[in-house]
């Protein structure tokens, strides 16, 4: 009888220790899984708060962001607003068909920038910024598109880098025909090439009065006349 009581007590003690161990192990596993969940939530957080895609009869906005800070910004440094007009009336020079009312824009690092893009033509135009951080802006871009005769407004936040960003219209041949600009953040890191009214354009005249293409053609012709023709004549028929 005494042996049976001692055996039952030993089994109860063993079961209690096993249950406690399992509970402790379960609690440890739960504690370890919690940070992983938090990291995933933090990584996914921007997708719940930005990348706004807005579309209406006037056009569309892609990757709008007025609240999620870039990783290198502690706060919004300033709020900046631009009104940009687009259309044939803003074409700047020879070879340009389209243009914008402003081809050079400036803002401070970590600025929140609101752009109202007004299309004066009957066809669609776009105002796109490239080179933004991809973890915050898919494809590294912020995109406005205004239908003919319409206006559209959107907001984005730039990081702290001192950088010059490309701005252009992505409709076929519109950039090549004059719809190109630059956004300098913190003074930028230089001017981009072929910005109308700002930097040299491959279709603008050089000091000789010839376009670059014409100058290259003239050089090629001179090469043929000076070197190829005399050799051909010496060989004869």
pLDDT digits (tens, 9 = 90+) for 178-230: 889 999 999 999 999 889 888 875 444 444 444 555 666 766 777 766 665 56
Domain extent listing, the chain: 52-185, 205-237
Q: Give the whole-number percent of the chain exceeding pLDDT 70.
A: 64
* Residue of 54, 72, 165, 67 whose CA lies nearest to 112: 67
Strand order, beta sheet including 52-56: 52-56, 59-64, 141-146, 125-130, 163-168, 180-185, 104-107
Mean pLDDT computed over every residue of the chain? 77
Q: Give the whole-number percent of the chain exceeding pLDDT 90.
A: 49
> How many CA atoms, within 13 angstroms, populate the side-chain half-sphere of residue 17?
6
Q: Are 157 and 65 in contact (CB under 8 A)?
A: yes
Is residue 166 scored above 90 in pLDDT? yes
Q: What single-letter DSSP state applies at residue 228?
A: I
pLDDT digits (tens, 9 = 90+) for 16-75: 444 444 444 433 333 333 333 332 223 334 443 445 788 999 999 999 999 999 999 999
**Tokens encoding 87:** 């259309």
Q: To which residue do tokens 């930097």 refer?
A: 199
Cα(207)–Cα(216) distance, integer angstroms: 14
Q: What does residue 95 show for φ and ψ, rounded to 5 degrees?
A: 85, -10
Distances (CA, A) of 125 to 98, 100, 105, 152: 10, 10, 18, 11
Which H or E element spans position 42? Answer: helix 2-49
Q: To which residue do tokens 């007009």 refer?
A: 85
Those residues with Cβ within 8 angstroms of residue 103's Cβ, 6 or more apart along the chain or in another chain: 92, 180, 181, 182, 195, 196, 197, 198
pLDDT digits (tens, 9 = 90+) for 87-137: 999 888 788 889 899 999 999 999 999 999 999 999 999 999 999 999 999
Stated pTM of the model: 0.65
CATH number of 52-185: 2.60.40.420
Apex 204 CA angle, 201 and 210, nearest 5: 135
Cα(132)–Cα(140) distance, integer angstroms: 4
The three-state secondary structure class of 171 is coil
């Amino acid at each position: 009888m005494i042996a049976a009581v001692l055996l039952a007590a030993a089994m109860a003690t063993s079961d209690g220790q096993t249950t406690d161990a399992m509970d402790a192990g379960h609690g440890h596993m739960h504690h370890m899984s919690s940070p992983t969940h938090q990291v995933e939530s933090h990584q996914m957080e921007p997708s719940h708060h930005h990348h706004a895609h807005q579309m209406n009869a006037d056009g569309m906005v892609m990757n709008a962001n007025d609240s999620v800070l870039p990783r290198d910004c502690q706060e919004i440094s300033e709020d900046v607003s631009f009104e940009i007009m687009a259309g044939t009336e803003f074409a700047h020079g020879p070879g340009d068909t389209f243009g914008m009312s402003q081809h050079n824009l400036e803002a401070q690092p970590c600025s929140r920038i609101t752009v109202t893009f007004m299309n004066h033509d009957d066809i669609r135009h776009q105002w796109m910024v490239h080179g933004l951080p991809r973890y915050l802006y898919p494809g590294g871009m912020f995109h406005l598109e205004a239908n003919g005769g319409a206006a559209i407004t959107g907001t984005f936040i730039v990081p702290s880098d001192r950088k010059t960003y490309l701005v252009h219209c992505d409709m076929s041949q519109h950039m090549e025909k004059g719809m190109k600009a630059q956004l300098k953040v913190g003074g930028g890191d230089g001017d981009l090439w072929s910005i109308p009214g700002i930097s040299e354009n491959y279709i603008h005249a050089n000091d000789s009065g010839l376009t670059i293409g014409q100058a290259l053609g003239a050089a090629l012709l001179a090469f043929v006349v000076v070197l190829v023709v005399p050799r051909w004549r010496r060989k004869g028929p």
